[in-house]
Amino acid sequence: MTTQNPVFIPGPTNIPDEIRKACDMATIDHRSAAFGNILHPARAGVQQVLKSTSAEVFIFPSSGTGGWETALTNTLSPGDHVLVARNGMFSHRWIDMCQRLGLSVEVVQTPWGEGISADRYGEILAADTDHRIKAVLATHNETATGVVSDIGAIRKAMDRAVHPALLFVDGVSSIGSMDFQFDDWGVDVAVTGSQKGFMLPAGLGILGFSEKAMAARGDAALNRVYFDVRDMEKGYANNAYPYTPPVGLMNGLKLGCEMLLGEGLDNVFARHHRIAQGVRQAVASWGMELCAVSPELYSDTVSAIKTPEGFDATEIVNLAARKYNVAFGVGLGEVAGKVFRIGHLGSMSDVMALSGIATAEMVMADLGLDIRLGSGVAAAQDYYRQSAKQLQQFAA
pLDDT tens per residue across span 185-235: 999 999 999 999 999 999 999 999 999 999 999 899 999 999 999 999 999
Is the pLDDT confidence value at 389 over 70? no
Does residue 197 share a domain with residue 65? Answer: yes
Does residue 319 share a domain with residue 245? Answer: no
* 133 part of a folded domain: yes
Q: How does residue 391 score in pLDDT terms, banded at 50, 70 and 90?
A: low
Are 148 and 300 a contacting pair, CB within 8 Å?
yes
Does residue 287 share a domain with residue 323? Answer: yes
Length of the chain: 396
Does residue 220 share a domain with residue 75? Answer: yes
pLDDT of residue 330: 98
The last residue of a domain, from among 194, 227, 262: 262
User: Structural domain tally of the chain?
Assistant: 2
Does residue 328 share a domain with residue 214? Answer: no
Does residue 190 share a domain with residue 258? Answer: yes
Is the pLDDT confidence value at 394 over 90? no
Is the pLDDT confidence value at 393 over 50? no
Residues 276-287: tens digit of each pLDDT: 999 999 999 999
Q: Give the pLDDT mean for 131-137.
A: 98
Beta-bridged to residue 369, according to DSSP, are: none
**Cα distances (angstroms) measured from residue 252 to each of 4, 163, 182, 235, 393:** 21, 39, 23, 20, 35
* 239 part of a folded domain: yes
Q: Supply the CATH number for residue 199's domain.
A: 3.40.640.10
* 287 part of a folded domain: yes
Does residue 344 share a domain with residue 212? Answer: no
Does residue 269 share a domain with residue 236? Answer: no
The last residue of a domain, from among 262, 296, 313: 262
* 220 part of a folded domain: yes
Does residue 275 share a domain with residue 258? Answer: no
DSSP strands (E only) in 308-365 = 329-330, 339-343
Does residue 111 share a domain with residue 51? Answer: yes
Q: How does residue 3 score in pLDDT terms, banded at 50, 70 and 90?
A: confident
Q: Supply the CATH number for residue 298's domain.
A: 3.90.1150.10
pLDDT of residue 232: 97
Domain containing residue 243:
17-262
pLDDT of residue 250: 98
* 152 part of a folded domain: yes
Is the pLDDT confidence value at 395 over 70? no
* 306 part of a folded domain: yes
pTM of the entire predicted model: 0.95
Does residue 379 share a domain with residue 250? Answer: no
The last residue of a domain, from among 262, 280, 305: 262
Contacts of 375 (CB under 8 A, 6+ apart): 282, 285, 286, 361
Q: Alpha carbon 223 to chain centroid distance? A: 26
* 382 part of a folded domain: yes
Are 35 and 247 a contacting pair, CB within 8 Å?
yes
Q: How does residue 388 score in pLDDT terms, banded at 50, 70 and 90?
A: confident
Does residue 85 share a domain with residue 158? Answer: yes
* 7 part of a folded domain: no
Please, what is the average pLDDT of the chain? 96
Residues 340-368: tens digit of each pLDDT: 999 999 999 999 999 999 999 999 999 99
